Chain A
Amino acid sequence: MCEGRPPPALALAVAVAQVLMHTLLAPGSARAVPPDAPTILRRADRAVLGETAAYTLRMTVVRPRKPERVVEMKGWKKGDDQGLVRYTAPPKERGTAYLRSGDSTWLYLPSAEKVVRVGARQNFGGGDFSNADIFRLSLIKDYDPTLAAEEVVEGQPCYKLELKAKDRSIAYDRVVYWVRTDGTFYPVKADYYTLSGKNLKSLVLSQVRPLGGRTRPTLLTMESRVDEGSRTRLEFLSILDDVKLDDRLFTASALERGE
């Protein structure tokens, strides 16, 4: 045995310790030093859709004692604040379209052939999502995040982020947001609160599966905390990330001309 070399038992212990340390402290590990809150939020913002994306959606609105109603849509997004959604089914709603650009939201009503400016807090398509929920897919722009805790939610170890609205024009004053700690940064759940502290609704992101070339949550379920039993499911049917989109797609003129 050479001087200075640890005995075999000790070497084994050191190796095991090194492996454990490496595993526990590796990026993405549940036990790693967590990234800062803005980084978590930024990564979570891109977990569902890329910087630009074209997608198809199915929205199902569930109301107590009423049959489920289904609407299908095509959507496009670019950056944090440009989005366009067109209804494709049912036939009576075909052509209805929502546009978001900056802080503005417009609705195109094909029956009146008219573009109407609407509020960001308006319910989207009669469901439990608001226009802001649909089109402001980036929360980092509107909220200041802090990392409150790590806890298990929906069976997943998560970072618990407290998001505080940057100003009073934002749809919700406070959002509690859970993001997976496993390095994927998939959002798992969000609770939305009013200025008075009332929990308005909760969002659960599930059905993590490959879609459009990468794995991501594909089902978003928004449940009302005000109207018991009311919830709305948004299911991504297809997604194309990083498509090239002209800014002129996100204009009132594009709304009027139709697809």
Chain B
Amino acid sequence: MTAARFGMTALALLLPASLLPAQDRQIEVGLEGFAYESATTSLNRDNVLGLDDYPGLGRLAVGWRETHGSFRAVFRGYVERTWGTAVDDTDWVVRQGYAQYWRGDKVGIRLGKQRIAWGSGFAWNPTNRLEPPKNALNTTLEQEGALAARLDWVPAAWASLALVGATTDVTPRDLPLATPEPERRNSVALRSRFVIEDTDVALVASGGKNQRTLFGLDVARDLGWAAVHAEAAVYEGAEMLPARDDTTFFRLVAGALRTSGENAFALEYFYNGEGYSDAGAQRWLAGLDRAWAAATDRALPPEARQQALAVYAAGATIPYAAGLGLRRNYVHASWTRGGATSVWTGAVRTVLGLDDGAFALTPGLGWAPRGNVTLNLDAILLLGPEDSAYRLAPVRGALQARLKVLF
């Protein structure tokens, strides 16, 4: 996004609002620094991605929220500079920029780039196709929204309906490598939510251009010892390559949240029906080997080598640009300690790939010396067998620091 568009979006949203006396105004300034350790792996043969040993990115982030009665305007964005990557540059990104209006408690409309944030799942949300998947390795990272128009209708306290039209071509932002620009997805989605016998039930239907038609069910309930949830989706055709257009796929997230004092424990299982089996993963890796061999075969004409390199690049970015996970079965577990009144918060998050032993460990520390200042430091360690999904990644791990000051 150009600087001009970034600035215009911010001004268009906030100037009218800021001229009025704010009922509630919150301004936020932040610094984000992510540093990675790169690796030469099957997905980064001969360091084809052109990464330095420790590539990274730095961001200056701003946030502004204005509320005037039933009207709200929000802008969140950042300026980013990358280093140690193939093409270091400066970019401007609007995470969110929207205006919202509610008529009483019954009807609301929201226009602009916004988070949809559907689904009860903590690390994965298979019923949400309107936004890119969240980063399961660090779910606390702020996500970018989709350009959307959203209409909410609450006919009764036990029922609500949300209708969204969205367009998005967002790629994963927090990596030091460029993923291929995805095709723009134009989607329409309807989500109806009910509270029946103290159980949350949501039904979702979505589809559109470059978008698989999806039907989803989301259920959540407090069982006393824990709050449990299950979120499932069924759809035809895969998100990940190969497309498998005539195959019906199923995704399911089921999990529990238990809290005790300042401690919160979360456990979540994810079944990704379109994920690769052992044989499928072997075929994918073998395909990458073949493509790389052709790309580096000096006996082939340059055009053929270039074509092979493109095939390799497309295959190598499947884990980052496509679905929610490369394989079929994952478990996410987390422990966090601390609350609203804590100066220090601690967290340990893990993701375990049950098919290949992939293991990601994300310890994190939060410090809030004042009520308007927070500093978060997270480390991501990618572990497991060398041929497991996380160890194939072109990075071995990351340090992610985020400082936020609110006014």
Interface on A for B, CB 8 Å cutoff? 59, 61, 66-67, 69-71, 87, 89-94, 96, 101-105, 111-114, 116-123, 125-127, 168-169, 246-254, 257-259
Contacts and interface: CB of A to CB of B under 8 A. Distances in A.
Contacts of A91: 26, 371-372, 406-407
Contacts of B373: 92
Contacts of A127: 339, 341
Contacts of B179: none
B120 A117 contact: yes
A247 B106 CA distance: 10
Contacts of A66: 343
20 contacts: A69-B340, A71-B340, A92-B371, A94-B406, A101-B195, A104-B195, A105-B222, A112-B140, A117-B220, A118-B222, A118-B227, A118-B257, A123-B259, A125-B341, A126-B262, A168-B224, A251-B160, A253-B193, A257-B108, A259-B67
B341 A61 contact: yes
Contact of A119 (B154, B224, B406): B224
Given A92-B373, A258-B67, 7 more contacts: A94-B406, A116-B120, A117-B220, A123-B262, A123-B339, A246-B104, A248-B157
Contacts of A61: 341
A-B pairs, top 6 by smallest CB distance, nearest first, are A126-B339, A90-B371, A69-B341, A248-B105, A91-B406, A247-B157
A104 B222 CA distance: 7
Interface string B211-228: 000000000111011110
Interface of B: 24, 26, 67, 72, 100, 102, 104-106, 108, 115, 117, 120, 122, 139-140, 142, 152, 154, 156-157, 160, 193, 195, 198, 200, 220-222, 224-227, 229, 257-259, 261-262, 338-343, 368, 370-374, 404, 406-407
Contacts of B222: 103-105, 117-120
Contact of A252 (B100, B193, B258, B370): B193
Contacts of A92: 368, 371-374, 404, 406
A102 B157 CA distance: 11
A112 B141 CA distance: 8
A96 B340 contact: yes
A252 B160 contact: yes
A94 B26 contact: yes
Contact of B154 (A121, A122, A253, A259): A253
A59 B154 CA distance: 32
Contacts of B404: 92
A119 B340 contact: no
Contact of B100 (A111, A117, A257): A257
B341 A71 contact: yes
A87 B258 contact: no
Contacts of A105: 222
A69 B341 CA distance: 5
A111 B142 contact: yes
Contact of A90 (B139, B225, B262, B372): B372
Contacts of B221: 117
A204 to B, nearest CB: 20
Contacts of B370: 90
A117 B227 contact: yes
A246 B105 contact: yes
